[in-house]
Amino acid sequence: MEAPLCQHVKPDGARCGTPAIRNHKYCYHHTTVRRLVPKATVYALHSPGIPGEPYAPLELPYLENGAAIQIGFMQLIHGAATGLIEPRRGRIILAALYGAAANLREMNKAEARGKAIQAVIKSLEKKKKPGTVKTRNGKVKKVEVHG
């Protein structure tokens, strides 16, 4: 029997794909994130409980990838353009989004370096190694051995 998968959907539409914790909807990581990362509406000028408030449900996504950061920027731009975000709060959100984008770039660089190192290691393991074998007549012959 296969374990159910985490039901977290990333902002780019991709599902997590990690097995969910037993009797939970999410994997360990997303269960923890959902508990620790507060849901925060970007549009702080308006109370999130006002009936008919169209922007109350627009929350900053969990900034786990480029798509989430892009959504955050788009929400910030819209909120600033419509006057739904106070300027001071907008500057704080903008700085946080820039920080998240810079951090994501560094994480992607580190991941790319790790993949490159793994590729080099694999290619070195596959290179031919010189070896010797004895032929039927007892002579020693050099051969290429694959590792």
CB contact at 8 A, 5 and 16: yes
Q: What is the pLDDT of residues 93-134, one digit of tens each?
A: 899 999 999 999 999 999 999 999 998 888 887 765 556 666
Domain limits, the chain: 1-36, 41-146
Q: What is the pLDDT of residues 80-90, one digit of tens each?
A: 888 888 888 88
Helix locations, the chain, DSSP H: 28-36, 66-82, 87-126
Rounded to whole angstroms, how far apart are CA atoms 142 and 130?
7
State what percent of residues in the chain have pLDDT above 70.
73
Average pLDDT over every residue of 17-35: 86
Which residues on adjacent β-strands are paired with residue 146?
Answer: 128
| Number of other CB atoms surrounding residue 143 within 10 Å | 10
> Which pLDDT does position 15 carry in this prediction?
87
Q: What 3-state class would DSSP assign to 29? A: helix
Q: Indicate whether 55 pLDDT > 60.
A: no
2: its two tokens: 């296969």
> Which pLDDT does position 43 carry in this prediction?
57
Tokens 């106070």 correspond to 86
> Which pLDDT does position 131 carry in this prediction?
65
66: its two tokens: 């480029």
